Every structure is written in structure tokens, then in C-alpha cells.
């Protein structure tokens, strides 16, 4: 009996590692989706799918594993692998004005996961996904503004309102994808629970 319990725990840990690896990989793909779809570059700004996958990580893996998977993605990039947007990587990316979004994705996955853990209804899946999008924009955009103002070198005429204007092109896409993530995440969780995989 004890052996079976130990094997079960090891199996679950292995499954969890696989799930984390999958979502870390999805974040890498989502960061560079414009390499496969160049039309997703608007005004020179790459429109990524990172918010979408960060939300899905929280919805499907839960607060703990979801945030761990995004943390793994971030650490891989900081270690030098070209997994951030435009195939960038390395510790110097910490100084990038958009690095705040990467940090925010960890928080997004955690908060979204916590919300559905407390109330696993379909409505809450959608609400939590939209909440995650709001968190990403609020923290990420403010971080970007501060970075430009204090250490990155802001372009001429840069202002707080301009920082938010830059975020308008991807906003409709992220809202639509948040709703889709909520519905999709809810269905995937039901399938995983039915198969006793989560």
C-alpha cells in the first residue's frame, strides 16, 4: 500500500513537470508568433499570445503550477535562450521596458488560478481570464512607462498617455482571447478531472 502511494506521488510530480514544461514552451511560441504570422506586427510592435497562454496556465494548472510554469519560462530566457519576443534573451532583458509584462505573467497565472480554485464555475473562468488581462495591462504598462522614464531612454514626446496608446492595438485581441481562454480552460479542466489527470 505504501509503495503504491509513493509511486502515485512520483507519477503526479512527473505529470506536473510535464505540464509546466508544456506551458513554458507555449509561452516561447506565443512570444514569437509573429515569426510565423508577420501580419501580427502592428506599428512595429509584435502582437504576442503570451497573455493568452499565461491565463491558460493559471486556469488549467492552477495557481501554483501555473505560476511555476511561467517562472520557468522567464528563467530560461534570462539564462540566455532566445525565448522572449523577437527571439531575445539574456539577463540584460531585465532592463527592457517590456520585461515587466513577463514578470506580470507569473502574477496573472497565480491570480487567475486562485480565482477558479475558489469558484470553478464557467462564469468565473471567463471573469478570471478577463481579470488576468486587466492585471497584465495595468502592471505591465506602468512598468514600461517607468522604465522609459528612468533607465531606458524615452523617445521624444513620450508621455504616460502615449504608453497606453501603444497598448491599444493588442487590446481587442487580448479581450477576445481572454473570453476564449475562459471557455476553453473550463472545458479542458472538466476533461482532465474526468480522466483523473488533475
The residues, any chain, with a CB within 8 Å of residue 47's CB and separated by 6 or more, are 33, 34, 40, 41, 169, 170, 173
Residue 6 burial by Cβ neighbours in a 10 Å radius (0-12, 13-18, 19+): exposed
pLDDT value, residue 3: 42
Report pLDDT for 9.
Answer: 45
Is pLDDT at 5 greater than 50 in this prediction? no
Average pLDDT over residues 64-82: 95
Residues in the chain: 198
pLDDT 10s digits, 75-125? 999 999 999 987 889 999 999 998 999 999 999 999 999 999 999 999 999
Task: Confirm if 135 and 84 have CB atoms less than 8 A apart.
Answer: no
Phi-psi region at 115: left, alpha or beta (left = phi > 0; alpha = psi -120 to 50)? alpha
What pTM was computed for the model?
0.86
pLDDT reported for residue 7: 44
pLDDT score for 160:
94
Amino acid at each position: 500500500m505504501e509503495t503504491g502511494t509513493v509511486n502515485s506521488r512520483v507519477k503526479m510530480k512527473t505529470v506536473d513537470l510535464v505540464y509546466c514544461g508544456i506551458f513554458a514552451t507555449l509561452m516561447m511560441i506565443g512570444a514569437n508568433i509573429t515569426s510565423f504570422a508577420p501580419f501580427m506586427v502592428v506599428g512595429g510592435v509584435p502582437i504576442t499570445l503570451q497573455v493568452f497562454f499565461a491565463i491558460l496556465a493559471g486556469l488549467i494548472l492552477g495557481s501554483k503550477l501555473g505560476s511555476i510554469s511561467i517562472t520557468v519560462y522567464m528563467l530560461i530566457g534570462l539564462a540566455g535562450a532566445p525565448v522572449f519576443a523577437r527571439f531575445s534573451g539574456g539577463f540584460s532583458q531585465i532592463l527592457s521596458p517590456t520585461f515587466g509584462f513577463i514578470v506580470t505573467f507569473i502574477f496573472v497565472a497565480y491570480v487567475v488560478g486562485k480565482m477558479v480554485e475558489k469558484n470553478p464555475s464557467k462564469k468565473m473562468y471567463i471573469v478570471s481570464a478577463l481579470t488576468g488581462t486587466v492585471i497584465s495591462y495595468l502592471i505591465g504598462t506602468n512598468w514600461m512607462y517607468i522604465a522609459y522614464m528612468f533607465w531606458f531612454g524615452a523617445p521624444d514626446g513620450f508621455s504616460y498617455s502615449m504608453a497606453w496608446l501603444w497598448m491599444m492595438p493588442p487590446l481587442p485581441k487580448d479581450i477576445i482571447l481572454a473570453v476564449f481562454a475562459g471557455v476553453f480552460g473550463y472545458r479542458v479542466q472538466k476533461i482532465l478531472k474526468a480522466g483523473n489527470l488533475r
